[in-house]
Amino acid sequence: MAIVDAFVFWLRRQSTFWILSLAIAGLAAAIAYLIDARSDLGQWRRHWGLLALFAAIYTLFLDRWIKEALLDGADPCEETDNLRRSVISLRFVVLAALLIALAFAVAEIPVTGAGAVIWVILATPLALMLPSFSANEPLSPVDALSLGAPVFFTLLLTIGGATALSILAAHAAEWILPLLPPRPWAPAGLAAATTLIDCLLLAFAGHILAALYRERSGWQQPEPEERPYRAMRWRKA
């Protein structure tokens, strides 16, 4: 099952996950602490600017995790290293920005939960474009829709499930906060916890997207030629 494979991959990439996610969670905790500790910063609580900042950070995290998933088990060679070390694709950033803007737009719908449902339905057909951008072999929206059609239900469950769990975690934090002592560390700790949950959900979703992209597109990992690194020179005995 895809979720089991994603879990196993996550277990094997603990150092990568925690290095990235703890840095993001630490930033979230620090911001939440400052906002709660200083009354003059209260207007920044749930400010759209902070939401956009973390959406951008999550975008970088997702791209990195998808690349790790795509290159899992790849033979060492220049092409593999170049892809792993490459910066995020501009196409990836643009698509993520469009999805983020869409999320902000549908969030204004007054019916509870309707915005999230609409966002998931609209985002799912484009989902396979993300791993294609990470693999540096971009798909068009039409190609992504065509490739994703046979696995649309899996994509819908992946994106919808991750979205629903993220929303539930945020609501749970709101319910728990009044039960904690009125100290700045309380919202900071909850912010860190919900951020870690978001990173975990992104890691699972990213691996599933990468696996579906490889399966549907036939994308192959870079392979070494005669020598793993063509720039190497054989040392004479």
The range of the structural domain enclosing residue 38 comes to 2-217
Is 59 inside any structural domain?
yes
Lowest mean pLDDT among 30-34, 86-90, 182-186: 182-186
Lowest mean pLDDT among 5-14, 39-48, 105-114: 39-48
Number of folded domains in the chain? 1
Confidence band, pLDDT 50/70/90 cuts, at residue 42: low
Is 223 inside any structural domain?
no
Distance CA 136, CA 219 (A): 11
Is 226 inside any structural domain?
no
Distance CA 110, CA 195 (A): 25
Q: What percent of the chain has pLDDT over 90?
A: 63
pTM confidence score: 0.89
Return the SS3 of 81.
Answer: helix
Is 236 inside any structural domain?
no
Question: Which tens digit of pLDDT belongs to each residue from 104-162?
Answer: 888 778 777 888 999 999 999 999 999 999 999 999 999 999 999 999 999 999 999 99
In this predicted structure, the answer to whether residue 230 has a pLDDT above a threshold of 50 is no
